[in-house]
Amino acid sequence: MFHGLMSPLNLQSLAGVLLILVLCWLFSENKRRFPFFLTIGAIGLQLALVLALFGVPAIRAGLTNFGAVFDGLAKSAQAGMAFVFGFLSGAGPQPYPLTTPSALFVFGFRVLPVIMVVCTLAALLWHWHILKWITKAFGFVFSRTMGLRGPTALAAAATIFMGQVEGPIIIRAYLNRLTRSELFLLITVGMACVSGSTMVAYVTILQGVLPNAAAHILTASIITAPAGILVARILVPRDPAAEAAQDKMPPDERVYKSSMDAIMKGIHDGMQIAVNVAACLIVFVALVAMINMMLGALPQVGGAPISVERVLGYVFAPVAWCLGIQASEIQTAGQLLGTKMMLTEFTAFIKLGAIPAAEMTERTRTIMTYALCGFANVASVGINLAGYSVLLPERRDEVIKMVGKAMLAGFFAT
């Protein structure tokens, strides 16, 4: 599937990595503190993770089988929807003949319920200490390989599985003692990664067009965390003098009284996230449609009307080229990248999943899966402002000033 290591497309990708590092340095708050050792460590950690996840036969087989877990979660969610909404969920016998079976895939019935189910399952696994052990293991790796302090490393690791606002909750008592650099790092990692609930939703969207989609989505979220840490450290370098030594971690505030308490709170959190995702999609898609209608009044260009998607395709085409996308597909890839930033990654994944297999190479589809797998979009700016206003009200003004830059940093990381 992939060309040789030194093929022109792979050289494009290497040039893209260097370009991102240079751009981040140019916009750094302290150009004299470029983290050379962290750069080596972060890229090395990414390579090690990729080699371990895809190079070790046992782990690779586990990733392949992981798709069955995602599929099981999706089917479980659909069973719940079928019980409540019957044939409208797309499951079970239909009361009328189907002329367009693909129309049964309704986002609200097939994807949003998965988010609620996985959020509930995550809360239960956290209460049983299973997810907590996994998070601490990743936190230990980030602390040892990337020089993060314990609380920051733990929150960054938790963000991979729990989400951009939910992850920092586990160190809520410590948030006010984070330095500016550490706070910016947490917001950036949150923008660069996704949550466990949305991972399953993405796999649901991409099934049928991307082989082994579950393994790629899971890998993308894991390996993007070191990239987010690196980009954040370049833009807002670490200030050792501002970091007070902390010998003990603050108490973990995410405590459930029982398994049933975890389930009920997980349902509540999942419902809030699902409603938020649905609301963002409705509003942002409507705004784009409104703009497209206004642009439709302009003369056509190249035999087609001007649209937001076409404009974004041209703007982000150079970025797509830097990812190693072949010239014939950079326009389409650029549209997906622009859609991801200006709308949401959900909208971009839906568009990616709708592209027939014959119209996009497997290489490009795989690369775009990794590039789109992150929360770095305009909607997430609002989500972070709302979340951190509750978690850290005394530093709200500071968060307002850095959240836009964190979105760009998260976009660079993916």
- Does residue 257 contact residue 102 with C-beta atoms inside 8 Å? no
- Does residue 169 contact residue 253 with C-beta atoms inside 8 Å? yes
State whether the Cα torsion 62-160-150-272 is positive or negative: negative
Amino acid of residue 384: N
- Does residue 191 contact residue 409 with C-beta atoms inside 8 Å? yes
SS3 301: strand
Residue 251 is classified by DSSP as P
- Confidence at 64, pLDDT banded by 50, 70, 90: low
Query: Does residue 265 carry a pLDDT above 60?
Result: yes
Query: Does residue 337 carry a pLDDT above 80?
Result: yes
Question: Can you read off the two tokens belonging to residue 359?
Answer: 């119209």
- Does residue 124 contact residue 263 with C-beta atoms inside 8 Å? yes
Query: Does residue 246 carry a pLDDT above 50?
Result: no
State pTM to two decimals.
Answer: 0.76
CA distance 326 to 328: 6
Residue 249 is classified by DSSP as P
- Confidence at 1, pLDDT banded by 50, 70, 90: very low
Cβ contacts of residue 263 below 8 Å, gap of 6+? 120, 123, 124
Task: Give the mean pLDDT of 32-38.
Answer: 87
CA distance 343 to 337: 10
Query: Does residue 244 carry a pLDDT above 70?
Result: no
Kindly report, residue by residue over 81-117, the tens digit of the pLDDT.
788 877 777 666 777 776 665 566 676 776 677 777 7
Highest mean pLDDT among 5-9, 50-54, 62-66, 244-248: 50-54
More confident residue, 80 or 131: 80
Query: Does residue 308 carry a pLDDT above 70?
Result: yes
CA distance 156 to 6: 33
Share of the chain above pLDDT 70, in %: 86
Kindly report, residue by residue over 356-385, the tens digit of the pLDDT.
888 888 889 889 989 998 888 887 887 787
